[in-house]
Structure 1
């Protein structure tokens, strides 16, 4: 079995590189610190134009906050509230958004896996929310809790994934109303990386906060981000009671949320890249500002989900040039306001792990790296417009994240002089294969993907003519055989299970949509 090797350290010299050469590891890569310049298609006047248009939308059109608590909060800070529609003065918005930290550190169960977010600091997070999976036999079916745990184990073992996320797939063998408890426990139990918290209702979000308090300590989470919530807007220009209540549960405990308008370009935004960004920006700013009404100084993340809609079928599309352009522009706007931002990393609309899936995901991942995204969600497994998570694609996407990580770090200069000396040693007409510098650096100088086959056609045939899906599934099985659980403290584990048992007794095993919290 082979796994990714850690990139060459920038420090430590030849002895350190020699000792690590060829080492096999499941160790998580540190949070990515990007050095590549960002792609910025807008000039200063165009940034000001988007900002001005967004502020005009907030002041003149307004945003619906379909939630009585949020409306009271907005009145308290002086916003112009007319029914459910809130008109936000640009001065108030700027004042509130300015209190969001420009960067912060996520604290994981294993402190060695803490990661910084914001500015040049980025993390890769697996996909979530799939109602189906393509399993270890590449069969499309409904997932169960064991399938979710499998994905959490795989995420734990993938060096370039910095989070175990939450409901990578929906566990259909548990009632919807109680699912969030088992999902959160699986995230905590099978990986010691940071994770996401369910925001499917305000009460579910409060349960997640209580479980985080049991895992990390109630006082600790008051000052240390440990998880991430996601709050989706209803574009155009609506935030609902469910999302806002969940947002309050997280922000009151100082835990960051992704403030994520859900963009279907041409359907719920104008059929225009620039105008879509202006609307999305207004929606995101209204939610970001509200996080600071809830608790000044709490971390928050400028979010979005980007897709364009096929005018032939009405279906969402992935990997299109307009999505990349919007990512570039949103990155500029987030940096303009000085807040971290989220995007989606490896989206695909294909029904199987085929060439379409690869092209769409590669186009998206490359764009978000060049856009300077911080929280790169949906980075592994996403296919069929999010309807299924593919095991094969999950492990290949994770390696693609490692490749993107290497690229975003930028060129390495630590051995430049030694490499130049090799040119003098070899001279015209020679080769470098046997040179000491090559022998010392060949495993780390150039990324060698394990999931891709770069052998000759003869060797490929001799190895069984295996396509990438088959190779990836074989690799996934080997990973799972090698998995070692990062054990929870027994007392903490018992407290979590007791909490889950109590809440499952209290919560009716009915559809969460039929419950009142």
Structure 2
């Protein structure tokens, strides 16, 4: 029996208190997902979806509302009738075969570079919320300082591998100039990889220019540093704005998410397999076009999934069909050998309540078992994306850390040492004071900070604080502890000069009427 035999009462609560350490803000390495993949289709069904999608591309066609794209397709050998492109399956297969199956994102801090594709995955916060629930849990319009707050929290959350871009819309800046300040905030307040605005072709070019300043033009031509998102208009339409932004990114060798926007039953058939067949055709048409723009450029099979309530017409999250579609899309992406994006921790609840938790947990579990690579909207999403909740942002990030730990799989490195403790303790003992427990308690089991697992008496004695208040208190504490990652002063000045020049050149009025 060991000298530290836990047959005595050494250790216990006082020992666990001694194990508590200061917060660790170090980013987790990019996830290498070791979980078995959930594949709901057999090989014949995968080929059936592929054949159906190719039939759509060849015989129904995809509308490309962009003269440059239409000319590009003509030169590539596609059949073009007015604005509809009919894609031969052999052409599609040839083009998508040149998309890298894996690549590495390069961050401002090289220690935070992350691999993507295959079994490699990253968690990315939500974006695009027109409202937020703030540090006082008040729903309101966001300002730039609110966006910067979320970028700071993204920087401090170990499980988040990106600071994204417009997590919330900063209403105190003109729409036509907003992308400049959004990109700068992503770059300045975090040294992780980030996303770039694709709200217009010219905005996308501005993002590329700013990336060139931060990393160097030659560097970004061979190293992915930022991600663009290009949404399709289901059914089967790609528009000029998205295609122009796609060209801006692909020409500079920066990856884009080729993302059909699915409202199941509204803009797709009321059928899971048929929806996947249509979505797959839409995604393939865009993925193929990225390679028309630049062969070998990284690209990501994307989508946004929701089903539509036949009671109200509202989009729903966390439904079983969404999980099934994620499993199926994962299989299709692997069939083509391309990385894929999905959405995570989605919810339609209006507050951070049980509905939000259930919907988000359902989505997160499915995403992990589907083997997704670019796991977007991983923190803060609520009210069908209409607001980003600070409280939910904090808890979602911790949930991602828990999912990360699960997806690493069982740790076997200390199996023999841990097993020897069984003979040390013997029948009727406890392990809390054993040396192996003392040495490994921090890492053996995940200990969430946001969940309260104390007795109800202790919980009541400490003020009966529920999870929303706990999370908001934690966010306030984090923001007090935030330290800005140093940005090279010369690059910072060059970025600010660029922003100032572009703000002088871009009218502050609505950009839609100004060519932006």
**TM bucket, shorter chain:** over 0.9
- SS at the partner of 2:393? helix
- SS at the partner of 1:419? helix
Q: CA RMSD in A?
A: 0.9
8 A contact 1:100–1:339 mirrored in 2: yes
Cα distance in 2, alignment partners of residues 435 and 488 from structure 1: 46
Cα distance in 1, alignment partners of residues 391 and 82 from structure 2: 50
Specify the alignment match of 1:261 in structure 2: 260
Specify the alignment match of 1:465 in structure 2: 464
Matched, 1:335 2:343: no
Specify the alignment match of 1:38 in structure 2: 37
Cα distance in 2, alignment partners of residues 235 and 467 from structure 1: 41
**1:424 Cα deviation (Å)?**
1.6
8 A contact 1:263–1:306 mirrored in 2: yes
**1:302 Cα deviation (Å)?**
0.2
Cα distance in 2, alignment partners of residues 152 and 195 from structure 1: 10
**1:22 Cα deviation (Å)?**
4.0
Q: What pairs with 1:383-422 in structure 2 (closer than 5 Å)?
A: 383-422=382-421
- SS at the partner of 1:261? strand
Specify the alignment match of 1:223 in structure 2: 222
Q: What pairs with 1:253-402 in structure 2 (closer than 5 Å)?
A: 253-402=252-401
Cα distance in 2, alignment partners of residues 158 and 24 from structure 1: 10
Q: What pairs with 1:177-216 in structure 2 (closer than 5 Å)?
A: 177-216=176-215
Cα distance in 2, alignment partners of residues 191 and 116 from structure 1: 18
Matched, 1:496 2:495: yes
**1:21 Cα deviation (Å)?**
8.4
Between 415-424 and 325-334, report the one with greater CA deviation.
415-424
**1:116 Cα deviation (Å)?**
0.3
Cα distance in 2, alignment partners of residues 426 and 289 from structure 1: 62
Specify the alignment match of 1:437 in structure 2: 436
**1:54 Cα deviation (Å)?**
0.3
List runs of 5+ in structure 1 lacking aligned partners: 1-19
Cα distance in 1, alignment partners of residues 430 and 487 from structure 2: 52
Q: Deviations over 1:73-99 (max 9, x none)?
A: 000010010110000000000000000
**1:441 Cα deviation (Å)?**
1.1
Specify the alignment match of 1:5 in structure 2: none
- SS at the partner of 1:258? strand
8 A contact 1:22–1:443 mirrored in 2: no
Between 432-441 and 105-114, report the one with greater CA deviation.
432-441
Specify the alignment match of 1:251 in structure 2: 250
Cα distance in 2, alignment partners of residues 28 and 354 from structure 1: 28
Q: Deviations over 1:314-358 (max 9, x none)?
A: 000000000000000000000000000000011010000000000
**1:388 Cα deviation (Å)?**
0.2
Specify the alignment match of 1:124 in structure 2: 123
List runs of 5+ in structure 2 lacking aligned partners: 1-18
Cα distance in 1, alignment partners of residues 507 and 464 from structure 2: 52
- SS at the partner of 2:446? coil
8 A contact 1:351–1:383 mirrored in 2: yes
8 A contact 1:123–1:374 mirrored in 2: yes
Q: Deviations over 1:467-503 (max 9, x none)?
A: 1000000000000000000121010000000000000
- SS at the partner of 1:133? strand
Cα distance in 2, alignment partners of residues 393 and 515 from structure 1: 38
Cα distance in 2, alignment partners of residues 155 and 39 from structure 1: 29
Cα distance in 2, alignment partners of residues 346 and 192 from structure 1: 24
- SS at the partner of 1:239? strand
Matched, 1:508 2:507: yes
Cα distance in 2, alignment partners of residues 178 and 457 from structure 1: 51
Specify the alignment match of 1:14 in structure 2: none
Cα distance in 1, alignment partners of residues 25 and 59 from structure 2: 53
Find runs of 4+ consecutive structure 1 residues off by over 6 angstroms: none
Specify the alignment match of 2:101 in structure 1: 102
Cα distance in 2, alignment partners of residues 270 and 238 from structure 1: 16
Specify the alignment match of 2:46 in structure 1: 47
Cα distance in 1, alignment partners of residues 43 and 405 from structure 2: 30
- SS at the partner of 2:221? helix
**1:428 Cα deviation (Å)?**
2.0
**1:513 Cα deviation (Å)?**
2.1
Cα distance in 2, alignment partners of residues 219 and 510 from structure 1: 34
TM-score (norm 1): 0.96
Q: Deviations over 1:248-295 (max 9, x none)?
A: 000000000000000000000000000000000000000000000000
**1:437 Cα deviation (Å)?**
1.0
Specify the alignment match of 1:13 in structure 2: none
8 A contact 1:127–1:382 mirrored in 2: yes
Q: Deviations over 1:189-242 (max 9, x none)?
A: 000000000000000000000000000000000000000000000000000000
**1:433 Cα deviation (Å)?**
1.4
Cα distance in 1, alignment partners of residues 426 and 373 from structure 2: 44
Between 424-433 and 447-456, report the one with greater CA deviation.
424-433
Specify the alignment match of 1:9 in structure 2: none
- SS at the partner of 1:223? coil
Specify the alignment match of 1:76 in structure 2: 75
Cα distance in 2, alignment partners of residues 339 and 301 from structure 1: 7
